[in-house]
Amino acid sequence: MHLLLQIFENCCVTGIKTDEDSLGLKRVVAVETNRGTIRTNNVINCAGVWAPHAGQVRLMRRQHVA
């Protein structure tokens, strides 16, 4: 399995695109930014103390992983 991780710094998120899967669940398919659209299946919110505010870009169920 080949995994790839890219970190985009100093980039403003303007929206999160979702799509429904075959079970009717919403899944992240892309993140819209001031630099363009980034296609992805996963998003990690690394906003620190601003994380709750940053997570409000779009209403979505949050999964917290420790």
Look at residue 63 in the predicted model and tell me its pLDDT. Answer: 54
pTM: 0.65
DSSP state of 48: G
| Helix/strand/coil percent split, the chain, to 5 | 15, 30, 55
Q: Where are the domains of the chain?
A: 13-57
59, pLDDT greater than 70: no
20-36 mean pLDDT = 90
66, pLDDT greater than 60: no
